[in-house]
Amino acid sequence: MTFFKFLTTKTFLKQLLYAVVVLIILSFIVLWWLKSTTNHGQQIEVPNLSKLSLDKVEEVLDERDLKYEILDSANYNPEYPKYSVIEQVPKAGNFVKEDRKIYIALNPSGYAKIKVPSVLGKTLRQAEPTLLATGFKIGKVSKRPHISDQVLEMRYKGERLEVGTELQKTSVIDLIVGDGSLNRVQEVSNDGEGNSENDADESN
């Protein structure tokens, strides 16, 4: 029997059919295994964690077989509760697979502390933008008799404030500014002395 005739026999066709069936079964088994190990096609919607406490985050994510990891830092936002979620990646509404990590940033307990800049000896017009740009707020501005119109003191909650002191951002700083009145008094005094001398010269 030649090889080509053997290909047309029932024995060969039966063996070929068995081989095809086995191949199909193996293919289904492999696909099922890949699907179960890689969660192929599984979609879990990322929940909105905004403003949730860490305990609540754990509860919500556990229900969805998701995990979380806390990011290092975030800027304080007064509209969010302290230590609540202020940012998350991926965003709410995205779809991820089981055991995916959701990266979250927690709202700090308050604003970061920054150093008070030096505005002593500057005019009010110069001092205000410097303090505002640094992150502070301007409180009460008081006038004090002085030869100049410059900033004489800074105060925080009634206490004298030294340059370089660290305060939380948005802290309110009060300013004490000279009114220049002593300079005017001195000018008037000098004018009076000059007139007296002139009068004495004219009488002579």
Q: How far apart are the first and last CA of the chain?
A: 158
Spatial separation of the C-alpha atoms in residues 138 and 115, rounded to whole Å: 15
Task: Tell me if 16 is assigned to some domain.
Answer: no
Residue 177 and residue 119 share a domain? yes
Residue 118 and residue 61 share a domain? no
Residue 51 and residue 99 share a domain? yes
Spatial separation of the C-alpha atoms in residues 114 and 41, rounded to whole Å: 50
Find the farthest-apart pair of alpha carbons in the chain and give their distance in angstroms, rounded: 158
Residue 152, SS3 per DSSP: strand
Q: For residue 162, give the nearest of 120, 104, 114 by alpha carbon.
A: 120
Backbone angles phi, psi at 150, to 5 degrees: -95, 165
Residue 102 and residue 137 share a domain? no
Name the helix (H) or strand (E) containing 33: helix 10-38
Q: For residue 100, give the nearest of 89, 87, 110 by alpha carbon.
A: 89
Residue 118 and residue 171 share a domain? yes
* Structural domain harbouring 119: 113-183
What pLDDT shows up at residue 200?
Answer: 46
Task: Tell me if 172 is assigned to some domain.
Answer: yes
Residue 136 and residue 79 share a domain? no
> Which of 65, 88, 106 lies at the terminal end of a domain, its last residue?
106
What pLDDT shows up at residue 50?
Answer: 95
What pLDDT shows up at residue 144?
Answer: 93
Spatial separation of the C-alpha atoms in residues 47 and 126, rounded to whole Å: 49
CATH number for 156: 3.30.10.20
Task: Tell me if 197 is assigned to some domain.
Answer: no
What pLDDT shows up at residue 9?
Answer: 74
Residue 201, SS3 per DSSP: helix
Q: What is the pLDDT of residues 112-161, one digit of tens each?
A: 899 999 999 999 999 999 999 999 999 999 999 999 999 999 999 999 99
Task: Tell me if 78 is assigned to some domain.
Answer: yes
| Predicted confidence pLDDT, tens digits, the chain (204 residues) | 565 665 667 776 788 788 888 889 988 888 877 766 655 557 899 999 999 999 999 999 999 999 999 998 778 999 999 999 999 999 999 999 888 999 999 999 889 899 999 999 999 999 999 999 999 999 999 999 999 999 999 999 999 999 999 999 999 999 999 998 876 655 555 555 555 445 544 444
Residue 122 and residue 61 share a domain? no
Task: Tell me if 133 is assigned to some domain.
Answer: yes
Residue 121 and residue 72 share a domain? no
**Structural domain total, the chain:** 2
> Which of 106, 127, 152 lies at the terminal end of a domain, its last residue?
106
Backbone angles phi, psi at 31, to 5 degrees: -65, -40
Q: How crowded is the C-beta side of 108, counted as CA atoms within 13 Å?
A: 11
